[in-house]
Structure 1
């Protein structure tokens, strides 16, 4: 969908009137039904909710889900509420200080101002330019830099590149905006880079910026190794990692004050069976909760050498962290006892999002009919936010591993409850793959905050 075309210009697909609380939840999730409500019923009774979502990026995962500015803009563009929204957004932008990593709210305000400015709002354009240019350059970059480049094109790219380059001259290792980030969809990357290269000959600051971009391009160049060479290099890396981090050091690290989670995960990825058995042997001697949790992390990406009685016991530990870590270790096994544990856990009245990892016990132990139990366990939950996301993520992993249309009800539950647009997109992908995406979900998803999900839904025939 074009960023400057309001969603309200499309013909009505489904009229959905939501109560105020349901609307607030739907808008926070970025659901299409919130946009459909506004299309059919206007802002009455919910204008303050929409405005609050413009002033604050309410996405569940603000880093991974991407900007919602275009979607939010489409909700008030061309409506009688536009002057009130524009005034509040520009006032908030004027109060924002910028210069902090990562200012998701500030970035959303800037992109809203950019969109308004591109549609002829001169005050919005002026406010955005002043905000970006008045910021002090820092290691965190310039909030709104890409928004100003989208508004003003190459002149803004040159301006930002020069400012960043001046900073790099004083601190060559500082983080900086990539040219790809600055150009976005507004300018062809190659043309912008060629123009900066031309200017670099007579501008040391731009030359510093271009030099950094050349290093980034070289770093991110396509990997031309064959798959066989990639496997060989990976094995060499693993061998070197184990040489530098022998099992004795991993055991010692588990008792440290600030153990690094990634250390145990990487060890499990590359350790051989003998080393994994030594971890299990040491685990049997441990009662300390933190040590058990760290050692169990080794098996997050490693298959248990056997159905170990100590790991089995820890799967019922009083500490939720230890219990869940042990459950995830057991989930790597295809075993009747592991399956029986999964059945017992999901049937239990105490099953909740705190133990969402119990669903993983079916990853290698799923049998036809289990989808009914999984769905029943999910539907007993009344969840939102982190709880819904934890349950949904585990449920989607099972959908991906068993790949059967029998799991359609589970995928629909994830779509219906998950606050994350990425997870909802995964759910729709599964439903489309199985040929059972309901029409009402396809209709709503066409208005979702996620551009990827909107495009996916539009492919539905």
Structure 2
């Protein structure tokens, strides 16, 4: 970009800046600041700034919140460069869009507006009902302005109290629920998340799990089956094993994936045999439900077989499924066979979180080639960029020594 000044890429730069292109922005984070730098190199900021100002002023639907977050961060960076119109737009948008003021937005806002921005936002932050938002804002204010400045404005006692506020519990301790509570939660059609059940299962008594194991063998309601299978993704099952195998081979993709994860935890040999048979018959990548079995128990021969069958131009779902599998596999150790799979994942996964994990694994195993490090130094992820530059710095110091 520095060499070409973005010549011929104007449309691509504009589209990337105006619409969040990340695979999972909630996990990967916003690319607003990084894209602003690209727009500067391509000479597009004067063209894009008015469009960004109009975009963040709109009351966007909830599903486009990541577009708005990226646009806000982009414009906040423009405000930092001395654009007064952008700064006014950032002030107004932060006040108007209270529901979207997460940590990333708060930091961008404070970096662009400084002490004046803190003063302008403090009343609404203090009086707001969202304790998490308040704590995030205060932590970002400390990071940007310094603790002394924040204490000067609101006082040390109040700041300490805000930072110590208890968050809503997200897990369930074993013993906090009775068996009746667990059974009722499994049966409740309105239970959307399985996280509390999984948290409970991790330290549940064997006799409590045996009751649920028996229930899995006979349960017919789909939602209850999914919740039961997720419990047994963290604790091994017995009585429901044969039925779980049937679900794994079934046509319901969500039920099948949940069943496979339960079979992984049960260390089921027959399921592993199915995965290996499908791999060697070149059918595993057409239906990726069996991949987790290789991640948990695959060997060097399995890794070589998978590497031979990976396409050079995979679709996004396949690239992500394989990447997640490879990273889980690498937790058991990065062998030379795994390095080739990690490099394929680096080249093809759409997920920034996975790319970060791939780079960490390659660096730990000293298997990161120069081309990966060269690319990583300019990645949209600050974490990836930092990892690459740190490794480069260590390499230079070792050469001098």
Q: TM-score, normalised by structure 2?
A: 0.83
1:215 counterpart = 2:161: yes
- Higher normalized helix content (fraction of residues): 2
Partners of 2:232 and 2:244 lie apart in 1 by 10
1:105 counterpart = 2:67: yes
> Once superposed, what is the RMSD of the aligned Cα atoms?
3.3
Deviation at 1:326, TM superposition (A): 1.4
Q: Contact 1:68–1:449 at 8 Å: present in 2 too? A: yes
1:192 counterpart = 2:155: no
1:114 counterpart = 2:49: no
1:64 counterpart = 2:27: yes
Partners of 2:211 and 2:23 lie apart in 1 by 40
Alignment of 1:280-319 (within 5 A): 280-305=213-238, 308-319=241-252
Alignment of 1:358-373 (within 5 A): 358-373=290-305
Partners of 1:99 and 1:129 lie apart in 2 by 20
User: Quick one: structure 1 residues 381 and 398, their matched pair in 2 at CA, closer, same or farther if it must change by over 3 Å?
Assistant: farther
Q: Contact 1:140–1:175 at 8 Å: present in 2 too? A: no
Partners of 2:225 and 2:243 lie apart in 1 by 10
Residue 16 of structure 2 corresponds to 53
Residue 124 of structure 1 corresponds to 86
Q: What per-residue deviation string (whole Å, max 9, x for no partner) do you get for residues 344-370 of structure 1? A: 2333444347x4342221344232322
Unaligned runs of 5+ in 1: 1-37, 201-209, 222-233
Q: Contact 1:405–1:434 at 8 Å: present in 2 too? A: no
Where 1:59 maps in the other structure, the secondary structure is coil
1:259 counterpart = 2:191: yes
Residue 434 of structure 1 corresponds to 365
Where 2:160 maps in the other structure, the secondary structure is helix
Partners of 2:61 and 2:141 lie apart in 1 by 20
Q: Contact 1:314–1:322 at 8 Å: present in 2 too? A: yes
1:159 counterpart = 2:120: yes
Where 2:300 maps in the other structure, the secondary structure is coil
Deviation at 1:443, TM superposition (A): 0.8
Where 2:284 maps in the other structure, the secondary structure is coil
1:277 counterpart = 2:206: no
Residue 412 of structure 1 corresponds to 343
User: Quick one: structure 1 residues 120 and 266, their matched pair in 2 at CA, closer, same or farther if it must change by over 3 Å?
Assistant: closer
1:77 counterpart = 2:35: no
Residue 384 of structure 2 corresponds to 453
User: Quick one: structure 1 residues 172 and 67, their matched pair in 2 at CA, closer, same or farther if it must change by over 3 Å?
Assistant: closer
Partners of 1:310 and 1:99 lie apart in 2 by 43
Q: What per-residue deviation string (whole Å, max 9, x for no partner) do you get for residues 226-269 of structure 1? A: xxxxxxxx9xx74423xx230x5544544432234234323422
Alignment of 1:223-242 (within 5 A): 238-241=173-176
User: Quick one: structure 1 residues 109 and 288, their matched pair in 2 at CA, closer, same or farther if it must change by over 3 Å?
Assistant: closer
Q: Contact 1:315–1:323 at 8 Å: present in 2 too? A: yes
Deviation at 1:411, TM superposition (A): 0.6
Residue 375 of structure 1 corresponds to 307
Q: Contact 1:106–1:144 at 8 Å: present in 2 too? A: no
Residue 324 of structure 1 corresponds to 257
1:92 counterpart = 2:92: no
Residue 136 of structure 2 corresponds to 178
Partners of 2:339 and 2:34 lie apart in 1 by 28
Where 1:403 maps in the other structure, the secondary structure is coil
Residue 444 of structure 1 corresponds to 375
> Which of 316, 326, 334 is 1:395 aligned to?
326
Unaligned runs of 5+ in 2: 396-401
User: Quick one: structure 1 residues 89 and 290, their matched pair in 2 at CA, closer, same or farther if it must change by over 3 Å?
Assistant: closer
Q: What per-residue deviation string (whole Å, max 9, x for no partner) do you get for residues 32-66 of structure 1? A: xxxxxx33444333311211221222222222222
Aligned residue pairs: how many?
A: 387
Deviation at 1:423, TM superposition (A): 0.6
